[in-house]
Structure 1
Amino acid sequence: MASSSSPPPPLRSVFDAAYIRGEFAAAGISSHFIPLIWKYVLQNPRSGDLDAVPSLPAAAYALLRQKFRPTTSTLTTAAESKDRTTTKLLIRLKNGESVEAVIMRYDTRLGKYDGKPRPGGVRSTLCVSSQVGCKMGCRFCATGTMGFKSNLSSGEIVEQLVHASRYSQIRNVVFMGMGEPLNNYNALVEAIQVLTGPPFQLSPKRITVSTVGIIHSINKFNNDLPHVNLAVSLHAPDQDIRCHIMPAARAFPLGKLMDALQSYQNESKRTIFIEYIMLDGVNDQEQHAHQLGKLLETFKAVVNLIPFNPIGSSSTFKTSSDQNVKKFQKVLRGIYSIRTTVRQQMGQDIAGACGQLVVSLPDERSGGGATLLSDIEDIRI
């Protein structure tokens, strides 16, 4: 009678940091070798062979063959905008689901600083996803229409940067793609710890995490991720409007959220970035600007006004007029002295703009390729 042995567990990503460190420790192999493996995969993203990693102990090669793959996700499609400033990546995960990441290229010399041309040159920001879908259900956000499907592992989050590195040298990372990062907190922290160590060596000051306001996670954010930027998707200056456009806000009352942000700022001494999507007739009137100004007047904050991108013809919201956006900005700047910017729209021809990141994959048996409907709820640099 044949034995019914269970199949071996699926191979894990070498970028699942806690898992690979645990396996190396159990095998008596120094964790100092792990960044060498990451460096090799980063520099050879198309190689599927971990035996080619140089200078490891023999026991490490045996362990890698038995339990790990260089990456568990695959890059399915890369769509580039006509002006070549934006590249949207469709990435298939090992569970068969897909997420999107977006590379945005900025030429810092095109702006002015103190009336003089800015130094520097082209730099790239990567917008990454933390979940497939999202539980938050924001009514203006395409990802919210998907519902929640699954969390990404820390390795799957890091792998988005590995895939993107084939196209650009990434300088900044923003967690503003699909999902609510603070609802996948442990994987988020682990991924950022990998990204700020060797071989990636990203500065934590060049990493921004955007949240709708998960209070219990904000309370531990500075302790776990010091020097990382926090962006809050506020989108309304009072609780009623917030609940209307962001149903999850009922669980995070505005007063308690602002208290948590004040405690965070007192502890971290860092500027808080406020994301505010401009919805015609909903939250874009002058009185709303005054309400927002009063709400933020005790904070060191930067407000980023985001032009709304309608999600298909069925959207119940409309884009604010340029005139209303300018009036809103003028109130915040002129009366409340709050630094206020207006989001630069990028990648709209490839559905890579704000509020449009949702993955739609047709039935592959029909012979159709992947269709990108897309959805990034927020992008900030």
Structure 2
Amino acid sequence: MAMRSVFDGGALRTEFESAGISIHFIPLIWKHVLQNPGCDLDSVPSLPSAAYPLLRSKFRAMTSSLAAAVDSKDRDTTKLLIRLQNGAFVEAVIMRYDTRLGKYNGNPRPGGVRSTLCVSSQVGCKMGCKFCATGTMGFKNNLSTGEIVEQLVHAQQFSRIRNVVFMGMGEPLNNYKALVEAVEIMTGLPFQLSPKKITVSTVGIIHAINKLHDDLPNVNLAVSIHAPDQDIRCQIMPAARAFPLGKLMDALQTYQNNSKQTIFIEYIMLDGINDQEQHAHQLGKLLETLKAVVNLIPFNPIGISSCFRTSSEQNVKRFQKILRGVYNIRTTVRQQMGQDISGACGQLVVNLSEQRSAGGASLLTDIEDLRI
């Protein structure tokens, strides 16, 4: 029988409660494992004696292992290839930003390097977006809560993680229960990440969006719109057929009314498909009732078989100018990082037949710079 990760919080709480062990010891276990990822759970200090045989028989400190870590040439991006207990692989990407090199609201910022971690929530993906390499894998399985949190544990050995974005392999809202529990663990002891520094990205799973604010208040929501009308969305995102754009926008309006939070809109720029002036006007009108930030994403090549081309810089700038100037929508163009290690947005795919990693995914504009 496969052992559970000690970061599978729900399972660990259930076992402790059944054994009459206080769940208040759980953060102490997590802190020890975070500081000693390869440890034996017998080495965790100061637990009740009954806890050790229970942990030994049913849990492991880490069920995943780091198979490889690759740095980009500028060392701003590190791609982690992580082997799961079932033999499958996922990737997580660390992106480093030096706050001293930019400004926020026009003012210089103190500090130094801060890091964002892009995590995966599934092996493969059901959504089948045609511009995303992960879609070529199909869907393999959901990650457990522990397997999601362990990506953060692995990443902490390389960099102090300040932000987490669920923009890696998979559709996070299709693994809803594990997503919610993983975020709850990340925002509790010992990780103590701020919910405001966690972003969940989705293609628009309406029924999950409808309950997200209640389950994860203050977490950022990013929605992959990628086209301003339903027909184009369905052409490039087959799963959009199940989530009509009109109903999705209604769900986002309700979400914002309840949460009072800015919604991040992701929009990949595909030459001749969704990057023309009329598309910019359509998108502006679509978003006119929302408080939103649009992130324009240059298309990253996903292989020679791709029928898509990257929009010209001229088209991207014109698109941005229309959204900003005509519709007063805050619009950024995503800075590309990690392309030399296939660590840029949409390139995440793990080719098991060749036992190699060929991609990553990342939020390439610092989420803290987008908050209003």
TM over 0.5: yes
| Partner SS state of residue 313, structure 1 | coil
Are 1:103 and 1:164, in contact at CA under 8 Å, matched by a contact in 2?
A: yes
Give the superposition deviation at 1:46: 2.6
Asked if 2 retains the 8 angstrom alpha-carbon contact of 1:75 and 1:89, the reply is: yes
Question: Residues 222-252 of structure 1, C-alpha deviation per residue, up to 9 Å, x if partnerless?
Answer: 0000000000000000000000000000000
1:372 aligns with 2:364: no
Structure 2: distance between partners of 1:69 and 1:12: 6
Deviations 1:168-204 (A, max 9, x none): 0000000000000000000000100100100000000
Structure 2 stretches of 5 or more lacking a match?
368-372
Conserved 8 A contact 1:174-1:379: no
Contact 1:355 1:378 in 2 (8 A): no
Match of residue 23 from structure 1: 15
Residue 196 of structure 1, aligned match among 187, 212, 235: 187
Which segments of 5 or more consecutive residues in structure 1 lack a partner in the other structure? 1-8, 364-369
- For residues 26-57 of structure 1, what are the alpha-carbon distances to aligned partners after superposition, in whole Å with 9 as ceiling and x for unaligned? 0000000000000000001132x111111101
- Secondary structure at the counterpart of residue 277 of structure 1: strand
**Contact kept in structure 2, 1:141 and 1:377, CA below 8 Å:** no
1:241 paired residue among 228, 232, 240: 232
- Shift of residue 306, structure 1, vs aligned partner: 0.2
Structure 1 vs Structure 2 CA RMSD = 1.1
| Count of residue pairs the alignment pairs up | 366
SS in 2 for 1:58: coil
CA separation in 2, counterparts of 1:94 and 1:372?
17
Alpha-carbon separation, structure 2, partners of 1:69 and 1:18: 15
Q: Tell me how far 1:66 sits from its aligned partner.
A: 1.1
Q: Paired residue for 1:319, among 310, 314, 320?
A: 310
Q: Is the 8 A contact 2:92 2:360 kept in 1?
A: no
Contact 1:274 1:301 in 2 (8 A): yes
DSSP-derived class of the 1:29 partner: coil
- Give the Cα–Cα distance (whole angstroms) in 2 for the partners of residues 178 and 113 of structure 1: 30
Contact conserved, 1:351 with 1:373, CA < 8 A, in 2?
A: yes
Aligned residues of 2:38 and 2:62 also touching (Cα < 8 A): no
* Aligned match for 2:204, one of 188, 193, 213: 213
Tell me if 1:255 matches 2:232: no
Question: Is 1:74 matched with 2:69?
Answer: no
Tell me, in whole angstroms, the C-alpha distance in 2 between the residues paired with 1:266 and 1:174.
23
Q: Is the 8 A contact 1:106 1:123 kept in 2?
A: yes
Kindly state the Cα deviation for residue 314 of structure 1 after the two structures are TM-superposed.
1.2
Give per-residue Cα distances to partners, 1:316-338, cap 9 Å, x unaligned.
Answer: 00000000000000000011010
How far residue 112 of structure 1 moved from its aligned partner, in angstroms, is 2.0
Between the aligned residues of both structures, percent identity stands at: 78
Check the 8 A contact 1:360/1:371 in 2, yes or no: yes
Partner secondary structure for residue 285 of structure 2: helix
Higher mean C-alpha deviation, range 110-119 or range 20-29: 110-119
| Aligned 8 A contact 1:89 1:101 in 2 | yes
- C-alpha distance in 2 between matches for 1:233 and 1:195: 24
Give yes or no for contact 1:133–1:146 (8 Å, CA) kept in 2. Answer: yes
The one-letter code sitting in structure 1 at the alignment partner of 2:25 is F
Task: Determine if the alignment matches structure 1 residue 275 to structure 2 residue 266.
Answer: yes
1:265 is paired with a residue whose SS is: helix
Given the alignment of the two structures, is residue 58 of structure 1 paired with residue 43 of structure 2, yes or no? no
Change (3 A) 1:114 1:97: closer
The 5 A counterparts of 1:1-381 are: 9-47=1-39, 49-362=40-353, 370-376=355-361, 380=365, 381=367
Letter in 2 for 1:294: K
Instruction: State the distance in 2 between where 1:17 and 1:202 align.
Output: 16
- For residues 52 and 219 of structure 1, the distance between their equivalents in structure 2, rounded to whole angstroms, comes to 43
Quick check: 1:104–1:126 contact (8 Å CA) kept in 2? Answer: yes
Whether contact under 8 Å (2:38, 2:61) holds in the other structure is: no
- Whole-angstrom CA distance in 2 between matches of 1:362 and 1:257: 37
Q: CA deviation at 1:109?
A: 1.4
Displacement of 1:339 in angstroms is: 0.3
Contact map agreement 1:99 1:359 (CA 8 A) in 2: yes
Distance in 2, matches of 1:151 and 1:252, equals 21
TM-score, normalization by structure 1: 0.94
CA contact (8 A) 1:275 1:378 kept: no
State the shift of 1:379 in Å: 5.0
Paired residue secondary structure (1:297): coil
> What letter is aligned with 1:222?
H
> Counterpart of 1:326 in structure 2: which amino acid?
K
Residue 143 of structure 1 aligns to which amino acid in structure 2? T
- Residues 143 and 96 of structure 1: is their aligned pair in 2 closer, same or farther, counting only changes over 3 Å? same
For 1:302, what is the secondary structure of its paired residue? strand
- CA 1:158–1:114 in 2, change beyond 3 Å: closer, same or farther? closer
Contact 1:142 1:375 in 2 (8 A): no
Q: Is the 8 A contact 1:308 1:318 kept in 2?
A: yes
For residues 81-109 of structure 1, the C-alpha deviation after alignment (integer angstroms, 9 at most, x for no partner) is: 11010000000111111100000000111
Tell whether the 8 Å contact from 1:133 to 1:144 is kept in structure 2 after alignment.
yes
The answer to whether the Cα contact below 8 Å between 2:65 and 2:82 also exists between their aligned partners in 1 is yes
Q: How many Å apart are 1:118 and its aligned residue?
A: 2.2
Distance 1:115 1:376, change over 3 A: closer
SS in 1 for 2:295: strand
